[in-house]
């Protein structure tokens, strides 16, 4: 196909099942970014890709074109005051309920010598968003200037912020059109959207957390595995070594869901008030993969030992505190978080209808219970109530009785709390067999590693 073919001819070729050349893909993505392609043409292109797919070379070219549609950050050769003396590392999750990994992992990796310029997003559907959680912290600025962002990464080792207008602008427009044209569930479009933004941050290595289970974005384990393998392969072929973990989301990752309550959980882990659990296990495993990819540890045992030491010493907590203060939040958040983080006026237990053992969950429904409380968005323009949510969520295999409720609901009103309680009772199954008969699902199901060519 000629490099300067008309957009409609390139769309026609994809509609008819032909493979597009890298030049043709770059031309189309450039037209999306500069708006020389109309919304109708972008929608038609998205549908052609949705129906016919893309081969590996096309998906790599699409990812690189989205990455290159705006600014691609560089972290070296900028002058001694901003040059980073260590590897630039990041992670991304496909989303879930109670997934606050980023809040802990970013400062933890920074405390081990990595630099983490993490560009995150807001909640989508039943899943929580890292930016929404951070905005529960008074004063936290998710949109600093580029210069402030760079300097904070250099000085604190980590900055978690929102996507700027300069990073991967083609993705912003393409995603908005996919959302209203029923073309979201296309593997090449999903992969290029995730990776286009992440790789524009100038990473030396990336780790992906791809969820499976009732709270996952992908509908089946097979689809989740396909996504994990495709992301690892495409990112590596685009020049960024990538590891993808396939992890369980058949129950919330943390025993809480909501915005302020998840920030409290992150602080409790960072300062050592809480130890163990599913959240810490996944975060520790992802962080170890980043240390290995960034050559900050010689082997897995050394990576885990370094992580454990930096968490126990308070170094990871100190990096979190520096990031929060550097982005306008309270300098004493760790010491006085109960003063700063909002609390809901109504907190009440949700008791099961019978004693027994948690046998399974509809994790998506648990997340939607938080959305219904006001902790998420039904429409993009909705405001979020940072105080509401769930805490003490029982886990699969746990015994439930009059002393141990399914969870505690944090609500704005008694009526809201009662509605959330009804949703939870419908979402969490309790059987009447003895404790120990239910086997919790495997948390880390696979690790897929790919090196850059």
Please state, in angstroms and rounded to a whole number, the distance separating the CA atoms of residues 1 and 106.
Answer: 44
Of the residues 172, 197, 322, 450, which is catalytic? 197
Residue 198 bears catalytic tag: yes
DSSP H or E stretch at residue 118: strand 116-120
Nearest to 250 by CA among 78, 395, 402: 395
> Could you tell me whether strands 242-248 and 444-450 are parallel, antiparallel, or unpaired per DSSP bridges?
antiparallel
CA-closest candidate to residue 126, choices 231, 225, 258: 258
Q: Which of 93, 120, 230, 242 is catalytic?
A: 93
Would residue 93 show up in a list of annotated catalytic residues for this protein?
yes
**Spatial separation of the C-alpha atoms in residues 57 and 61, rounded to whole Å:** 6
Residue 216 contacts residue 224 (beta carbons within 8 Å): yes
* Ranges assigned E (strand) in 139-284: 158-162, 205-212, 242-248, 257-258
Cα–Cα distance list, 442 to 111, 116, 435 (Å): 29, 29, 18
Active-site residue flag, 178 = yes
Q: What is the C-alpha separation between 426 and 363, in angstroms, rounded?
A: 11
179 given a catalytic annotation: no
Q: Where are the alpha helices (DSSP H) in 53-100?
A: 56-67
Q: Which of 54, 83, 409, 362 is nearest to 215 (CA)?
A: 362
The question of whether 197 is a catalytic residue gets the answer yes
- Phi-psi category of 93—alpha, beta or left, where left has phi over 0 and alpha has psi -120 to 50? beta
- Both tokens of 118, joined, read 């993490």
CB 103 within 8 A of CB 263: yes
Query: Does residue 223 carry a catalytic annotation?
Result: no
The answer to whether residues 380 and 419 touch, using CB atoms and an 8 Å cutoff, is: no
Q: Which of 14, 26, 91, 410 is catalytic?
A: 91
Active-site annotation holds for 126: no
Which of these, 94, 45, 67, 118, lies nearest to 227 by C-alpha position?
94
Of 14, 26, 68, 90, which residue is the catalytic one?
90
Residues 6 or more apart whose Cβ sits within 8 Å of residue 395: 251, 255, 278, 358, 440
For residues 438 and 366, give the distance between their C-alpha atoms in angstroms, rounded to a whole number: 20
Q: Which of 193, 212, 230, 242 is catalytic?
A: 193
Catalytic member of 120, 127, 130, 214: 130
Residue in 122, 126, 198, 284 annotated catalytic: 198
Q: CB of 31 within 8 A of CB of 65?
A: no
Given 126, 178, 278, 337, which residue is catalytic? 178
**Catalytic (active site) residue 91:** yes
Q: Is 148 a catalytic residue?
A: no
Collect all residues with Cβ–Cβ distance below 8 Å to 88 and sequence separation of at least 6.
75, 114, 115, 116, 117, 201, 202, 203, 204
Active-site annotation holder among 92, 237, 278, 284: 92
How many CB atoms are located within 10 Å of the residue 396 CB?
Answer: 18
Contact between 324 and 283 under an 8 Å Cβ cutoff? The reply is no
Catalytic residues: 90-93, 130, 178, 193, 197-198
């Amino acid at each position: 196909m000629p490099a300067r073919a008309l957009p409609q001819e390139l769309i026609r070729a994809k509609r008819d099942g032909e493979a597009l050349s890298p030049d043709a893909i770059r031309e189309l993505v450039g037209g999306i970014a500069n708006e020389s392609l109309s919304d109708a043409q972008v929608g038609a292109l998205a549908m052609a890709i949705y129906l016919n797919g893309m081969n590996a070379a096309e998906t790599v070219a699409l990812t690189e074109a989205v990455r290159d549609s705006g600014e691609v950050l560089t972290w070296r050769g900028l002058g001694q005051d901003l040059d980073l003396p260590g590897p630039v590392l990041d992670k991304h999750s496909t989303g879930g309920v109670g997934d606050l990994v980023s809040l802990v992992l970013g400062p933890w990796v920074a405390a081990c010598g990595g630099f983490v310029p993490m560009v995150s997003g807001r909640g989508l559907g039943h899943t929580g968003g890292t930016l929404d959680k951070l905005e529960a912290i008074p004063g936290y600025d998710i949109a600093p200037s580029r210069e402030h962002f760079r300097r904070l990464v250099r000085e604190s080792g980590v900055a978690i912020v929102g996507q700027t207008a300069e990073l991967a602008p083609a993705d912003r427009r393409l995603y908005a059109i996919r959302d209203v044209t029923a073309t979201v569930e296309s593997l090449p479009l999903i992969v290029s959207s995730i990776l286009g933004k992440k790789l524009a941050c100038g990473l030396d290595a990336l780790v992906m957390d791809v969820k499976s289970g009732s709270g996952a974005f992908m509908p089946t384990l097979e689809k989740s595995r396909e996504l994990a393998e495709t992301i690892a392969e495409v990112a590596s072929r685009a020049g960024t070594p990538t590891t993808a973990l396939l992890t369980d989301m058949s129950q919330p990752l943390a025993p809480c869901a909501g915005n302020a309550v998840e920030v409290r959980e992150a602080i409790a882990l960072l300062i050592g008030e809480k130890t163990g659990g599913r959240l810490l296990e996944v975060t520790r495993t992802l962080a170890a993969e980043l240390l290995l990819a960034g050559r900050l540890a010689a082997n897995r045992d050394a990576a885990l030992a370094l992580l454990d030491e930096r968490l126990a010493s308070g170094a990871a907590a100190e990096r979190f505190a520096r990031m929060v203060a550097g982005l306008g939040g309270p300098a004493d958040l760790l010491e006085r978080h109960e003063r700063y983080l909002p609390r809901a006026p109504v907190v009440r237990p949700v008791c099961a209808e019978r004693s027994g053992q948690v046998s399974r969950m509809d994790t998506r429904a648990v997340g939607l219970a938080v959305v219904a409380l006001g902790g998420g968005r039904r429409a993009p323009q909705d405001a979020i109530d940072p105080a509401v949510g769930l805490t003490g969520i029982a886990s699969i295999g746990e015994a439930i009785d009059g002393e141990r409720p399914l969870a505690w609901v944090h609500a704005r009103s008694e009526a809201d709390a009662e509605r959330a309680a009804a949703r939870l009772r419908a979402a969490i199954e309790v059987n009447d067999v003895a404790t120990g008969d239910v086997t919790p699902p495997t948390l880390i199901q696979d690790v897929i590693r790919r090196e850059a060519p």
